[in-house]
Amino acid sequence: MRNSYSIQSLLLLLCGLISLTTQKDVPDAFRLPPSEAVDNVNPLIGNGGDSPNGSGGMIPSTSPPFAMTRWVAQTSENYVSVTPYNYTATSIHGFQATHQPAIWMGESGQVVISPGAGQVQPKFDNRGMSFTHENEVITASYYSVNMNAIEGGQILAEHSATSRVGHLRFTFIDTRQPYVLVEATRASVLGSADPHNLTYPQGSIFINPDTREISGSNPERQDFIIAPVSTPAKHWSGYFCARFDQPFASWGVSKNNTLFDGQTSGNGTLLSGYVSFSPEVVEVSVRIGVSFISVEQARKNLDTEIPDGNTLEDTATATRSSWAEKLELIKIKGASKDQLQTFYTAFFHTLQAYPYEQSEYGQYYSGYDDAVHQGISYTGYSNWDTFRAEWAWLILFAPERIPGMVQSMLQDYKEGGRLPMWKNIIETNIMVATHADSLIAEAVLKGMAGFDLETAWEAVYSDATVPPVNDTTTVYSDRQENVDYEVRAGLTSVYEEKGWVADDVHSESASRTLDYSYDDFAVSVLAGLLNKSEEEQFFRQRSLQNPFTIFNSLTGFMEARNASGAWAGPDNGWTEGDKWAYTFDVIHDIPGLIARKGGNATFVEFLDEHFDGGHNDHTNEPSHHIPYLYSLAGAASKSQSRIRQIAESNYNASVNGLSGNEDCGQMSAWYLFSALGFYPVNPVSGLYVVGSPFFDEVEIQFPSSNATSLKIIAEGARSRPFVNSLSINSADIPSPIISHDQILDGSRFEFVMSSRPQAWGSSTLNNNTGLTSEQDKSLQYYMAHLELR
C-alpha cells in the first residue's frame, strides 16, 4: 500500500484534472431525485494510478450503499493488484459484476456482459471497443459510454444496479447484427499478483430462448487458496441469471474461445453464452441477478429487486435515492467545488462496500463452514484498516447496519471458530492482529445493540487467549498458504509470558506486539461494559505493559525482539510501516508513550523530527493518527497545521485524488473526520481529538432513532487553519478532546479560527515531565475518560 509518484503519474494528474471537466452531461432522467450531494460524487477520483498503490485503487462502479455486487465497465481482467477499470485505458471489453473488495484482494464469482455487432468475439483481447472519456457519463447510480463497434457503427452502453442485480441497456447505432455475450469463466490468478500464474475455473452456462434467459455459474475464487486449512470452502460458486427484453434470433456457447452455434448449455473453461438479435433491433435491455447460493436464488434476486416492467431509469432513480438518503445527511457551506467533490466522494467511498452484503433475503453462504445458513451476513472486512476510523464513521452514519455487521462476524466465529481478520467471503489471514475485537467493543461502547453480547464476549476472549494451531512453529507470513486461522500468531511463544511476539519465530513481530496490546485494551473495554471486572483488569494491565516491552530506551524507538530478549534490529518486524510509524502506535496509551519519551516538549520535538524528516507515510494506515498526537502533548496548533498539510497533499478531486489506495474506506474516513474537525485516535475510548475544521459551516443530521443534529461553525476556516477557541453549546472547551456523546447530543460546535498559531489546547507545550504536571490538562482529561488512573 505504498505510493510512488512517477512522471507518468504527474502527467495523469494533469490529464485527470482536464478530463473530469469534459465528460458528457448527465441526462435529466438520471438526475432524479435532485441531490446536490450526489451530484458532487465523482467516482473517478482515485482511479488514475499507474501502479496498484498509486492513486486510490478505486473503480467508477454503480450500486447502492453496501451492495453485494458492483457493476463497472471492464478495461482489464482484474486480479490481486489490478482493478477491472483504469482511467488510462482506451478500450472497454464488457461490463463486469465485481466482488473484488479492494485492489489488493482477489475477485470471486464475477460475470461479464459484453455487447457486440457482427462476428461474435468471446476472447477478451478481441472484443475490446475503443472509447474516449468525453463520451462517458459516470455517477454513483448511472454509467454510460459510447463505444466504437469493431465492425463499424457505435454501441451506447448504459447501466445501473441494485445490490444483487445489474440493469444494462445497449443501443446499437449503425452496426451489423447485434449480439450480447455473457462470460461465465475466464483464466484466473490464484492468490498472487502474477498474471502468468493461471488456472482455469470450470463453470456452467444455460441458454433458454423461451424465457430469454442466460444463466450459469462461475467458481472463480482468487483468494480461496489462502483460506484456513481447517475450513476449506470447496463448494462455493458465484451464480447468475440474465433476462433480456428482446427475443433471441440465434444463440450458442463458446468454450475455450471456440464458438458452438445452436448449443444451449455447456460446462468447462473459458466459457461464455451468446445470443444474437434481429438486425432490426436497435435497443436491448438486460437485467442480471447474482447470487452466492444458486441460479434459482439469482433469479429470485432479479425478480425481487428489478421485476419485469422496471426501466433503467426506474433502477437508477432508486439507487440514486439510496445515495441521496445518506449523503444529504451532511450539508456544507464555505467549500470550493473541488472540496465538495473531494468530501462527498470520500463519503461515497466509505459506504460503498466496506463491508458489503453477503446475505440474500434471509439466507447466506458461509465460507467459514462451506454451508448455507439463515440470517444476515456481510463480507469484505478489512479490519486492520477500518478499525481506525472507517468503523467509527459507519457507527455515526450507518448505525442501522452495525448490528447486522457485528452479528455477521459472530456467525463467522460460530461457523469457523474465529472472528474474521480479513474476510473476502472466506478468511484470508491477511494483515495482523484481531481487530474485530475493536470493532465489537466500539459498537457496544457507542450504544449499538441487536447482537448476541455473550457470544461477542466469548469470541473476543477467544481471540485474546486461544493461540492459533502450531503457534510456536508457524511463521504466519503474509498470504501464507496451507496454514490455519492466524488470529494472534505468537500469543503463546513469548507474548503471554514476556510481553512481546518473538521476531525469530513469527513475521511482523513488533507490529503484532503493538496491535495485540491495543486489541487487549479493546477486550478490556468490552469486559468493563459487560461487568466482567476481573477480565477487565487483567486485559487492561496487559494492554498497558506489553507495548513498552519493545521500547528500546537507548534508541527511543520501538524495536522487534527475539525470544531470548535480544533486540532484533530497527528494520525488522513491521507490517507496512517502519520504526517511525510504529513507535507512535500505542493509541490506547499515548500518555505512557509521552512519559517514556521524556515528557511533552521532547515528544513534540520527536513528532517534528518525524514529519520534517519525511517519515510520515499517509498512504498507509499506521500513520493516520500521528498528526493528532501533538494535541495530546499540548501542541494543538501543530496538529492543526500538519492535518491541513496532509489533506492538501493527499486528497483532491482528480483521478489521482487519493494517495496510496482507499483501503476499504479508511483513507476517506480520515479525510472526512479531519474535515469536520475531530478524529478517533483511540476508537474504543469514546473520545475524539480535535483538529482543524475545513469549512465555514457543516450541518449534520444523524440517522439515529433520536434524529439528532450537529452544527459545526468555523468561519473563515478555508484560509484560517488554526483554532483560537472552541465552544460547545456556548460552553468553552479548553482542551482538544470531545466525546461521542457531545457529537450526538444535538450540539453546536463553534470554532473561532485564526491564520496564525494560537495558544488554545497548547498550554502543556513547555511541560517536560509527562503526566505529573498540573498544567497537563488535556492528557489528564484524556486519561480520566479512559479510566486508566
pLDDT band at 54 (very low <50, low <70, confident <90, very high): low
Q: Closest Cα partner for 140 from 393, 401, 348?
A: 348
pLDDT category, 195, cuts 50, 70, 90? low
Give the Cα separation of 739 and 541 in Å (integer): 24
Which pLDDT does position 767 carry in this prediction? Answer: 41
Residue range 135-162: mean pLDDT, rounded? 98
Residue 382: all three cell numbers together: 478489512
Q: Answer yes or no: are the C-beta atoms of 693 and 716 closer than 8 Å.
A: no
Q: Average pLDDT of 291-298? A: 99
Percent of the chain with pLDDT over 90: 85
Strands laid side by side in the 731-732 sheet: 330-333, 697-701, 709-713, 748-754, 722-728, 731-732
- What CATH code is assigned to 366-469? 1.20.1050.60
Q: What is the pLDDT of residue 789?
A: 27
Second-level CATH architecture of 497-551+559-574: Up-down Bundle (1.20)
Buried b (16+ CB within 10 A) or exposed e, 643-652: bbebbeebbb
pLDDT (tens digit per residue) in 633-662: 999 999 999 999 999 999 999 999 998 889
Residues 10-28: tens digit of each pLDDT = 333 444 443 354 467 999 9
Q: What is the mean pLDDT of the chain?
A: 92
Model confidence pLDDT, tens digit, residues 666-725 = 999 999 999 999 999 999 999 999 999 999 999 999 997 666 899 999 999 999 999 999
Predicted confidence (pLDDT) at residue 194 exceeds the cutoff of 80: no
Grade residue 52 by pLDDT with cuts at 50, 70 and 90.
low
Strand 660-661, strand 55-56: pairing:
parallel
pLDDT reported for residue 245: 98
pLDDT of residue 777: 40
3-state secondary structure of 112: strand
Q: What's the rounded mean pLDDT across residues 234-253?
A: 98
CA distance 571 to 566: 14
pLDDT at 2: 34
Q: Where in the chain are all domains bearing CATH 1.20.1610.10? A: 497-551+559-574
Note the pLDDT tens digit of each residue in 300-356: 999 999 999 999 999 999 999 999 999 999 999 999 999 999 999 999 999 998 899
- For cell 489521482, what's the residue? 656
What DSSP character marks residue 221?
B
What's at 508, amino acid-wise?
A: E
Residues of CATH 1.20.1050.60 domain(s) within the chain? Answer: 366-469
Q: Over 60: is that where the pLDDT of 67 sits?
A: yes
227-247 mean pLDDT:
94
pLDDT at residue 50 above 90?
no
**Coil, helix or strand at residue 520:** helix
**CA–CA distance, 98 with 394 (Å, rounded to integer):** 23
Q: Is the pLDDT confidence value at 193 over 90?
A: no
Percent of the chain clearing pLDDT 70 (strictly above): 92
List Cα–Cα distances, 505 to 462, 492, 749, in angstroms. Answer: 22, 11, 50
- The CA distance from 468 to 200, in Å, is 33
| Contacts (Cβ under 8 Å, ≥6 apart) of 422 | 105, 381, 382, 383, 384, 428, 429, 430, 431
448-505: per-residue pLDDT in tens? 999 999 999 999 999 999 999 999 999 998 888 889 999 999 998 789 899 999 999 9
| pLDDT score for 112 | 98
The per-residue pLDDT for 705 is 65
| CATH classification number, 7-328, choose in 3.10.20.30, 3.60.150.10, 3.40.50.620, 2.70.98.10 | 2.70.98.10
Residue 9 pLDDT > 70: no
Exposure string for 551-575, b = 16+ CB within 10 A, e = fewer: beeeeebbbbbbbeeeebebebbbb
Give the pLDDT confidence score for residue 779 in this predicted structure. 44
Judge: domain 329-358+629-789, CATH 3.30.2080.10. yes
Indicate where the chain has its CATH 2.70.98.10 domain(s).
7-328
- The pLDDT of residue 341: 98
Residue from 420, 404, 406 nearest 367 by CA: 420
The reply to whether omega before 467 is within 30° of 0 (cis) is: no
What's the pLDDT score for residue 627? 99
Whether residue 780 is predicted with pLDDT greater than 60 in this model: the reply is no
- The tens digit of pLDDT for each residue in 610-637 reads 999 999 999 999 999 999 999 999 999 9
> Lowest mean pLDDT: which of 68-82, 552-566, 775-789?
775-789
Q: Which amino acid is at 66?
A: F
